[in-house]
A = this chain, B = another copy of it.
């Protein structure tokens, strides 16, 4: 076994160099830090092909974070993974409503997912948000509907749920919502990917 010797902190730098080398092609400079961090988080180079950025999405996300906009996510894993210290320095925080009692009650009463109800709860707060959706396609579908009804105006939607049922379709739907989006097309994604994209934005500020 060959273990390389690195000081803590150097490993990430070396990892990013390996990723860049193995990618073997130039990425869009605005998208590059995000694509590289997602590959760093997953060791999966297919994200270089599946990550889709709507025109100006990265800039809009950076502007929003810079002005203290908070992030709404659909899992407590995503919340745990987002760098809350950095976000807090900018004036933002992370919300996850999935475990809230009112959300559970309403979801059960209406026979819909807690993720969909969480998006409604965010809409009712009438606040600017970035959405980081790593798990529930129903969150994206409800967001699409709320946008079309004029009830919510997301500054950026990071749409990267993972899964086999309605996931790829929900991601294609949110692409047509007319708001800034960063989406991992297809089945792959996850809370870790959602957090990685948030952090890739945060680390540029």
Contacts and interface: CB of A to CB of B under 8 A. Distances in A.
Interface of A: 1-4, 6-8, 11, 14-15, 18-19, 40-44, 75-77, 79-81, 107, 111-114, 138, 141, 162-167, 169-170, 172-173, 186-192, 195
Contacts of A7: 111
14 contacts: A1-B172, A8-B112, A8-B114, A11-B163, A14-B164, A18-B164, A40-B164, A43-B187, A76-B81, A77-B192, A77-B195, A79-B80, A80-B80, A190-B192
How many copies, total? 2
B166 A3 contact: yes
B163 A43 contact: yes
A190 B186 CA distance: 20
B192 A8 contact: no
B191 A77 contact: yes
A193 to B, nearest CB: 9
